[in-house]
Amino acid sequence: MTTVIKYLSPFAPDISGAVSVLFELGGLIVICDAGGCTGNVCGFDEPRWFQKKSAIFSAGLRDMDAILGCDERLISKLQDAVSKTDAAFTAIIGTPVPAVIGTDFRALKHMAEKRTGLPALTVETSGAGLYDEGEENAMLALFQNFATEAFPVKRGTVGVLGVTPLEFSNLRAGDIMAAAVEHSGLGRAVCYGMGSGLDSVQHASAAEKNLVVSPAGLKTAEYLKTTFGTPYIIDCPLISEDLNRKLTGLAGKRVLVIHQQVLANSVRNRILAGTDADVAVASWFMLKDDLKQEGDFRLTDELRFAAAVEDGGYDVIIGDSFLKRALRHYHGQFIDFPHFAVSGRLEE
């Protein structure tokens, strides 16, 4: 049996996740591809592309670059672009091409820093991973490179880790999240990568605490805790008004919430705060054991997804309506909960 996708289409890949984290930070981002991966990111997975300018470039690799080794040529092009644009750092993002030819990303980082004089990040994505892996790796590399100095802690400030349009399906997710954090009494929020720049990352040690709103932010929160002693909590105070309105009439029902784990857990908590429903969480993406409850499960392919839904006897599914295509025999209630990384659809 092969794993063939018949009803859905591929979810946002690791490359898109990595770019999503870095998009607003003023770096010069090079996707190490022939053009198609960059087109996918810019034309589909990065909805900010049509609203804000960001220095995202394709390496423009050609077959001979790949066969003969492209490092020197790539770094020369990077150096040239740095001389013509205003960049605070450079970032090189992997794709299937460097994955096949075995590109040495550590060497690329050293070469880029030496030739441009700017800090360089490398994110070794392959295009076969999912967006949250790319986000996790890019975020960690970003903070390890730039959040290195200990600043005095500002009381009442909260660093928010894991806000991207891929996670929250909203172009204003940074602003809305900041408002939700403040409204919940957690403090004054700095949403890294959405609504705040590189300077905020550099001053990350000044946050009194960190809030992790998606699993992709966990490793970075651990890094900041280990390096600066900044404590973190895992929660998502942001549930859209639209979804909130739909979370009614669930008493006594078996409910399955499908999204990224932290947000899905928050939806479960919101449901259980008002009613006695039986709620499980499932995700196509990272499912951290520490955040799982009994009955939660990871989704891996269409067949198993359909079987799990049938076997679970769920009365209500809360998930991106795009997923309905794979549930041809499900006749329960389906509450739409957009997930950009799944369907490429923003909240309305």
Partner 1 sequence: MMNRAYYISAEELAHRGRSNIPSELLSSAHLIYSSPATLAFNSPGAQGFGVKRAGLAVPGSVMLLISPGCCGRNTAALSKEGYNERFFYMMMDETDIVTGRHLAKIPDAVREICEACDTAPTAVMICITCVDALLGTDMKRVCKKASEYAGVPVIPCYMYALTREGRLPPMVAVRRSIYSLLKPASKKPDAVNILGYFSPLRDDCELYSLLRQAGVRKIREISRCLDFGEYLKMSQANFNLVLNQEARYAALDMEKKLKIPSIELTRMYQLDKIRNQYHLFGQAVGVTFDDQKYYDMASASVEKFHKNHGDVIFAVGEWTNADPFELSLALIRYGFAVSEIYGTVGDMNFSYIKKIARLSPKTKIYSNLSPTMLCYDVCDSNVNAFIGKDAAYYHPGCVGICWNEELQPFGYAGVTGLFEALDTALGKEGD
- Closer residue to partner 1 (CB): 237 or 344: 344
- Closer residue to partner 1 (CB): 53 or 329: 53
Classify 253 as helix, strand or coil.
coil
Q: How far apart are CA 321 and CA 308, in angstroms?
A: 17
Tokens standing for residue 3: 């794993």
Q: How far apart are CA 199 and CA 116, in angstroms?
A: 20
Q: At its nearest, how many Å lie between partner 1 and the CB of residue 78?
A: 7
Q: Rounded to the nearest 5°, which phi and psi values hold at 263?
A: -65, -40
Q: At its nearest, how many Å lie between partner 1 and the CB of residue 142?
A: 21
Q: How far apart are CA 332 and CA 231, in angstroms?
A: 41
User: What residue ranges bind partner 1 (CB under 8 A)?
Assistant: 1-6, 9-16, 30, 33-40, 42-45, 49-50, 53, 55-63, 65-67, 77-78, 80-81, 83-86, 95-97, 99-101, 126-130, 322, 325, 343-344
Q: How far apart are CA 342 and CA 344, in angstroms?
A: 6
Q: At its nearest, how many Å lie between partner 1 and the CB of residue 270?
A: 29
- Closer residue to partner 1 (CB): 42 or 111: 42
Q: At its nearest, how many Å lie between partner 1 and the CB of residue 229?
A: 36
Q: At its nearest, how many Å lie between partner 1 and the CB of residue 77?
A: 5
Kindly write down the DSSP assignment for every residue of 98-140, as one continuous string: HHHHT--HHHHHHHHHHHHSS-EEEE---SSSBHHHHHHHHHH
* CA 12 and chain centroid, separation: 9
Tokens standing for residue 147: 């959040």
Which 8-state DSSP code applies to residue 12? Answer: P
Residues in the chain: 348
- In DSSP terms, 189 is beta-bridged to 158
